[in-house]
Amino acid sequence: MEILLLIKQIVINLLTWLVDNPGIVAAFIALFGVFRTIKATDKRDSAKLEADIKHKDKEREVALRKDVYLAAASGMIKANKYLGAMANAETFDHSSINQLDEFFAANAKIEIVGSNDTIERMDAVMRQFSESHYTLLMGALHLSNIDNEIRITNDEIDQKMQSYNRLVASMNQEEIRNSAEITSLHYDIVALGQNVNTLENSLPGFKNQYRKMCMKESLKISRLIYPAVIAVRKELHLELDVDRYAALKKDSLDKIDRDVDEFLTKLEQMH
């Protein structure tokens, strides 16, 4: 009981003191209000700071993706141009594929920063480039083999002609008519000459077919580039009328395809 009376007396004394000193009470209330304001301000500042950090992180991420995608776009154009340039089989420098390092590097980076759709679209471009490049390399090898066969056969004809001329110079007319070696050389030279004529006559047709292959393979890449561009623009939230853009690119590529066929047909008719 004494403890309860003591607590009661303390409470009464405290209330009496607070009533007698209203200024101090007001100061405490004001101080409490200041603490609450500071706490609320800190909370708002922390939230704003966190939002700013997230925004800057997003900006850095978008900037990184833009750099990667711009490099990829440049690389795709170079890859497409590379396939088209392979049509000049006689003068084409195959070591120029080193110029596509940017294309290959950008594709590797897209695996890190790209969305699933962008990665899928760029992979499609890369796969088609690899397939087209291999196809055209095989075509170029076939043309090279024909050129080499013509050159080797002509060298063989020259060697046999030299042997033929030496024999003829060392014999009289009767010996020439009766020489089995001269007869054999004569038939060999004629057969080799016919073989060269056949190869040379077929070469323009093979070259036209190869040019057509180059242009067609290049168009295959072009038909995969614009879906990749659409995927990138969606990922970067860049405005684009997708249907209109896709229809425009398709119409343009279809026209190029028809023009290529018409040009190559005329070229074949000239030969």
204-239 pLDDT, tens per residue? 888 888 988 898 899 999 999 989 989 888 888 888
- The mean-pLDDT minimum among 4-8, 133-137, 186-190, 243-247 falls in 4-8
**What per-residue confidence (pLDDT) applies to 157?**
92
Q: Is pLDDT of 155 > 90?
A: yes
25 CB neighbour count, 10 Å cutoff: 13
CA–centroid distance for 229 within its chain: 11
User: What mean pLDDT value characterizes the chain?
Assistant: 80
Query: What Rg, from alpha-carbon coordinates, does the chain have?
Result: 42
**What per-residue confidence (pLDDT) applies to 1?**
54
- The mean-pLDDT minimum among 16-25, 99-108, 179-188, 194-203 falls in 16-25
140 CB neighbour count, 10 Å cutoff: 19
**What per-residue confidence (pLDDT) applies to 178?**
80
**What per-residue confidence (pLDDT) applies to 5?**
59
pLDDT in tens, 230-264: 988 888 888 888 889 889 888 988 888 888 888 77
Structural contact between residues 107 and 57, judged by C-beta atoms closer than 8 angstroms: no
Whats the size of the chain, residue-wise?
A: 271
**Structure pTM?**
0.69
**Higher local confidence (pLDDT), 147 or 23:** 147
User: In the chain, what's the furthest Cα-to-Cα distance?
Assistant: 160
Q: Is pLDDT of 97 > 90?
A: no
The DSSP code sequence of 146-186 is: HHHHHHHHHHHHHHHHHHHHHHHHHS-HHHHHH-HHHHHHH
**What per-residue confidence (pLDDT) applies to 42?**
55
pLDDT in tens, 158-214: 999 998 888 888 888 887 778 888 888 889 999 999 999 999 998 888 888 898 889
What backbone torsions phi and psi does residue 240 show, to the nearest 5 degrees?
Answer: -165, 130
**Alpha carbon distance 125, 131 (integer Å):** 10
**Alpha carbon distance 60, 154 (integer Å):** 65
